[in-house]
Structure 1
Amino acid sequence: MESKTIEPEDITKWMDDVKIGGADLPGGKGIVNAIRPPVLKETRFGPRKMSQIVIDGSDGSTIYVNLFLPQQFPMVHPKSN
C-alpha cells in the first residue's frame, strides 16, 4: 500500500468540502460549532486528593480520567557517593 503525505493545503481543501447533515460548513469552521466542547462534569476525590475526573464528551459520551498523583508513586532517588 502506498503512503501519501498530506500537505497542509490539502487539509484546508478537505475542510472546505466538509458537510454535516447536508449543510455546507464554510472553511470547516462549522465543524467546531456543530459538536459541543467537552465539559467537566464531576471531580471524584479518593484517599489521596483528586483521583478521577468525569468529562461529558463532545459526542454525548462520558469520559472517566484516572489521575495518578505523584505522592502515590514516590520517586526513588539513587544515593550519591
Structure 2
Amino acid sequence: MAMLPDVYRDIVEVVADAPGPVQAKQIVPRIGLPTTTGKIEGTRSRLKRLVERGWLEENTPGQFTLARRGPGRNRPNAQ
C-alpha cells in the first residue's frame, strides 16, 4: 500500500477498518476533510479509481469494501 499517494492510502485504511461497506460521505470526515459536497464527490471519484485499480470493490452502488483480491490483498505484507 506504500505505493499509493497519502489520500488514497488513508481512504483504503478507513475502508479496511470499517465493519462493513462504507459510503464516500462516511469516509470524508474520517480522513480529515470537511463534509462539503465537493469533498464528498472528490472522495467518491477516488473510491471509483481504487475500484478500477483493484484495491476496493463496489458490489452495491455507492457502497465500498476492501477488495478480496487485487493490489491490496495479494501482496505478502498487505494488511
Normalising by the residue count of structure 2, what TM-score does the alignment of the two structures yield?
A: 0.23
Higher strand share: 1
Q: Which has the larger radius of gyration?
A: 1
Query: Of the two structures, which has the highest relative contact order with CA contacts closer than 8 Å and spacing of 6 or more?
Result: 2
